[in-house]
Structure 1
Amino acid sequence: MGRTFTESARRRQIVEAAIEVIADAGYAKASFARIAKHAGLSSTGMISYYFKGKDDLLREVIAEVMRVSEAYMLPRIEAETGPRARLRAYIESNVELAAAHPRELAALVEILNGQGDDAEGQFAAARQAVMDFQEHLVRTAQADGEYGPFDARVLVTAVRGAIDAVLVRVLRDPQMDVAASARELADLFDRAVRPSEVCMQPHRLPGEDA
């Protein structure tokens, strides 16, 4: 039997409170007592009623962060046409996600750094599936002549690593120009994937023969 509207709303309330507490206080201090107080619940028993334990709650927090990320990024990616435009949208929306949903990402980082194998395994499995699909898209774009010849897995890994590095900077430096950083990173990889025949020709000094 499915959950009632009230049950779903209560679970969501608890998950959102957990995200806030983990982002603000850190994983180690995110006790049920803190989460219950932040959610305005009368006791921690309300959390235990909806979740089997802390690990169960944290799994739902990770799932919620993934849902939020997809809801933010997917419309921007799908609005573009062509692999290069979609790659740009993927990079820019992923970086700008940190500015749009800083608490969700901060909570995710805290969980991954603090919980260990269970959370890391859940997140890694989801990320691996995304990267496998991206590699397929890159190979298709190469076959169609949209991308140049390079190792598709290396590109996908490099994109993911570069985005993660920028996201860490964004979380540590609230004054960082997120939009500008997103554009620069997208520009960098747009140049990297272009077929060689459309790359910029060597620059000639004034007066040199063509």
Structure 2
Amino acid sequence: MRSENKPDGQKTFIEEARRAQIIAATIEVLAEAGFAGASLAAIAKHAGISKGVISYHFAGKNELMEEVVEQVYTRIAEHVVSRMQSGTTARELLRTHILAVAGHMRDNRVQVKALGEIFTNLRDAKGGLRYGMHTDEVLYQGLETIYQWGQENGEFRPFDRRVMAITHNAAVNAMFAYWVMTPGHDLDAHANELADLFERAVT
């Protein structure tokens, strides 16, 4: 006997699949053509759908770009958290955070390029950059939690946790920016060197 809920369930699944398709196409177009070239028409063509399909799911380019950032950051967080769960010391968590982020993005280079295009081009209603230090508070707080634990259990020396979190985040961002700009740069070696640097800085 057919379930009465099946049609709604199918519709939800289809809509989610379509949104995922649009997000994937957007990331690829951003990486290939840049922000200016990532028009809704170009994204639709790349995805093999009509521009109207994108407009059905997203109110406009800005909303689509924000969803790309949300989706990519969610995937990064899931990967990093899964790697950090086995950590038993603050020092391990600090190192794992840097290496796990690098490991995930190494396998998703187009996502790094797409994020870079969005971060340097997407504007808010007032004309300012939509993303930047003013939107990184959650990241800072997460890093501060690691540093606080290390200070409280005696692993880390006293220091200003906010300053260290800002420096940590900026260093990771710079690592990815250099990796995208410089073909052949060894991201894993860079990440290991960065982890060594921060371990020495906090202990």
TM-score scaled by structure 1?
A: 0.84
> Which amino acid in structure 2 is aligned with residue 55 of structure 1?
N
| Offset from partner CA, 1:41-64 (integer Å, 9 cap, x none) | 1x2111111111111111111111
**Which of 89, 96, 99 is the equivalent residue of 1:92?**
99
Q: Which of residues 78, 81, 98 is equivalent to 1:71?
A: 78
Q: Structure 1: which 5+ residue stretches go unaligned?
A: 195-210
Select 1:46's aligned residue among 42, 48, 53: 53
8 A contact 2:119–2:131 mirrored in 1: no
Find the counterpart in structure 2 of residue 197 from structure 1: none
More RCO (CA 8 Å, sep 6+): 1
1:32 matched residue in structure 2: 40
Q: Report if the CA contact (8 A) 1:62-1:108 is conserved.
A: yes
CA offset at residue 31 of structure 1? 1.0
Instruction: Answer yes or no: is 1:154 the counterpart of 2:163.
Output: yes
| % identical equivalent positions | 38
Q: Normalising by structure 2, what TM-score?
A: 0.87
1:166 aligns with 2:175: yes
CA distance in 2, matches of 1:124, 1:81: 30
Q: Deviations over 1:85-131 (max 9, x none)?
A: 01000111223333111111111110111112369546656521121
Q: More displaced, 93-102 or 150-159?
A: 93-102
Match of 2:153 in 1: 144
Q: Which stretches in structure 2 are left out of the alignment for 5+ residues?
A: 1-7
8 Å CA contact 2:27–2:114 kept in 1: the answer is: yes
Q: Rg: which structure is higher?
A: 1
2:37 maps to amino acid: K
Please give the alpha-carbon distance, in whole angstroms, between the structure 1 residues aligned to 2:82 and 2:35: 31
Q: How many residues are matched? A: 193
The 1:97–1:170 alpha-carbon spacing in structure 2 relative to 1, beyond 3 Å, is: farther
| 1:22 aligned to which of 8, 17, 30 | 30
Two-structure CA RMSD over aligned residues (Å): 2.0
